[in-house]
Every structure is written in structure tokens, then in C-alpha cells.
Amino acid sequence: MAAHDADKQGRTSTTAIVVPAVPLSSGKPMPRLGFGTATATLGHAEGHTGVMEAVLRAIGAGYRHFDTAAVYNTEAALGDAVAEAVRTGMIANREEVYITSKLWITDAHPGRVLPAMEKTLQNLQMEYVDMYLIHHPVSMRLPEAEGGPVVVKKDLVAMDVKGVWEEMEECHRRGHARAIGVSNFACKKLENLLCFAKIPPAVVQAEVHPYCRQKKLREFCRSRGIQLCGYSPLGASGTVWANNSVMESPVLKQIAQDRGKTVAQVCIRWIYEQGDVVITKSFNGSRMRENLDIFDWELTDDDRDKIDALPESRGNYDFLVHESGPYKTAEEFWDGEIAAGHCNDITAIVSSD
């Protein structure tokens, strides 16, 4: 595709918003707003071309931080989009983007981390990722056959965290990952990891939105020099695991009306004001730009007080909990740091059998 063709499709960055970045304990600074590529169908309905086009639109809007994972089935499309953006001059080179990917639970075993890292780099067609995360603090036995649910609860097993983290550190030492971190680790699990980590996690990625405020985790991370990165800022609206209370909240709707903004912008701005990195996700071009429009205004103290008074709940609640697994209750999985959960039927991607 020629550069002028990219221009015609609205991919140029002439009006792109410049996103601030935050320094990390290792690697290059991370842009404060990222573009997520996780979809409810794990990339199947959108297809390679659909994901690739969405990433190109996002680059044109100003996004430079892109979040993927082995389980999302979007690594290859993201890699092709970045290569296309470089080829057409939308960005100067690969260094201009920040790429995060994640180790899936079937590969969260000693001896499987480095091969999984190499597969991710092969998918992305890149020599390194900027951030590599352990996706969840649990492992799963390898499935007997491909094509089934991504999580089979009876196959969940305790993770050898020390052994897995040592191989994450080896990924870092080899230059495959410029920085390493974790996702969905609560404070107790982080404290355990820090007891033996030679390279501490630079980032913890977790669900963050006005109904899942993560105050305890945020304070813990600040005290240890770890950057909190929030996913599902809108409560994963539109997915089967959604916390629907966020987008349907009368309180958030009123704040949005008072500020002349959308509920989505209020949520993203609130997380940004906490000092977190935010991973947004929309493949719609106008909403991509809308999600970036959060830098030149602020919430009021009254707005913040109203958000702080909202009941706590989350969407990512108990889908890695099972009576035969290492975590038998949601409270156990999240180290007792959540008050309530809200999780719809996710049988399309999770099996108990």
C-alpha cells in the first residue's frame, strides 16, 4: 500500500495527538495511553486484516503503545501493521512504538517461557518487545488437542513462579524483552515475587476503572517503584466478561454530562489522573480519537469524590478459579483485595471439564 493510499484511509498522523510517557524501572518510557488488541472472539471474528487496519487507524490517531498477547491471536496482525506503518512512512521505525505482549498460562512453566517468547517475536516479526508480562498468576496443563476452550479449569495448576520468573529474566537478559512484568497479580503475589526477583517487575497490569479502583494495589506499586497499567477502563463493555455497571452508571453519566464529555472519557481521564497507564480498546476510528481526548481537561474534586463512593466490583473475577485448582475462590485468587464480582457467562472460552 502506497503512502498516499494510507492518507486516503485516514491513517496519516498529521493531526495525531502526542501521548505523554512515563519512565519505568527498566526499558524505555511507556506511553500513558495504549491501544488494546484483545477482542471478545480472541481475534477470530475480526480477522487478521480487521485487526491490522484497526492498528493502522490507531497509529494515524496518535497511539504508539500497543498491547497484545499470545492468547489474543493478534500478534501477527499487529506486527504486520507496524511493518506497514514503517514502510509507508506513518512512523519512522519500530523504535517509535511500544509493544507489550504476554505469556499465556499454558506456557507459564519452566522450560516453556523462552520458546513462547521466541514464538511471540516470530509472530510480531520483531527482534524484541518493549514489555513482556506473565498473563496470570496460574498455569495450565497443555491441552490434548488444539481448537478447544482457551481455559480448561480442571487443568489449572499452581505456577512455579520462581522458575517462570527466572526465565522471564532470561528473556530480558537476552534482549528479547526490554522490560518484564506481570498481569493480574495482587499485592500478596507481588510481594512473594519481589522476595526472589533479581529483576523486579517494571509493570503490573490489572483491571482498573471507576468500579474497580485498585487503591491498595496502586499504593503497593508506588512503594515498590512499579508502574500500574490499567486494562478494561470501561469495564470491558461489549464482552461476555463485562462489568456492565461502568457504562450504565448514572453517576458517571452525570459527571460526563457536567463536563461535556462521554462516560468513556471520564473513565479514562480518572485512571490517568491516578498516575496509571491506561489500555483502551476500540476499533472504531472516531472512538479511538475520542479516547485520546483526555489531556486538556480535569475532573473536579466533587467528581473524584463521587467516583470514590461507587461500589467495588470487577468483570475479571473468577474464571481462573476451580475446586480442583490452586485457587478455589475468587477471594483466594485476588488475595482478598476485592469486595464483589460481576462476571457474565464465558463458557465460549472457558470450560470446567
Q: Pick the catalytic residue: 63, 72, 132, 317?
A: 72
The pLDDT of residue 10 is above 50? no
pLDDT band for position 352 (50/70/90)? low
- The closest of 185, 215, 214 to 197, measured between CA atoms, is 185
Q: What is the mean pLDDT of residues 156-184?
A: 98
44 assigned ligand-binding residue? no
Domains and CATH numbers, the chain: 25-351 (3.20.20.100)
Among 89-93, 136-140, 141-145, 189-193, the minimum mean pLDDT is found in 141-145
Grid coordinates of 232: 478494561
Does the structure show a pLDDT above 90 at 14?
Answer: no
Q: What is the rounded radius of gyration, in angstroms, for the C-alpha atoms of the chain? A: 19
Q: Is 128 a catalytic residue?
A: no
**Spatial distance between the Cα atoms of 322 and 306, rounded to a whole number of angstroms:** 35
Look up residue 151 and give its three cell numbers: 481455559
- pLDDT at residue 133 tops 60: yes
Separation of first and last alpha carbons in the chain: 46
CA distance 136 to 104: 8
Report the pLDDT value the prediction gives residue 1, as an integer from 0 to 100. 33
Q: Which pLDDT value is given to residue 345? A: 35
Reference 119, options 109, 104, 136, 134; nearest CA is 104
**Distance separating alpha carbons of residues 170 and 114, to the nearest angstrom:** 8
Percent of the chain with pLDDT over 70: 89
pLDDT of residue 143 exceeding 90: no
pLDDT single digits (tens) 32-59:
999 999 987 877 778 999 999 999 999 9
Mean pLDDT (whole number) for 330-349: 63
pTM score, whole prediction:
0.91
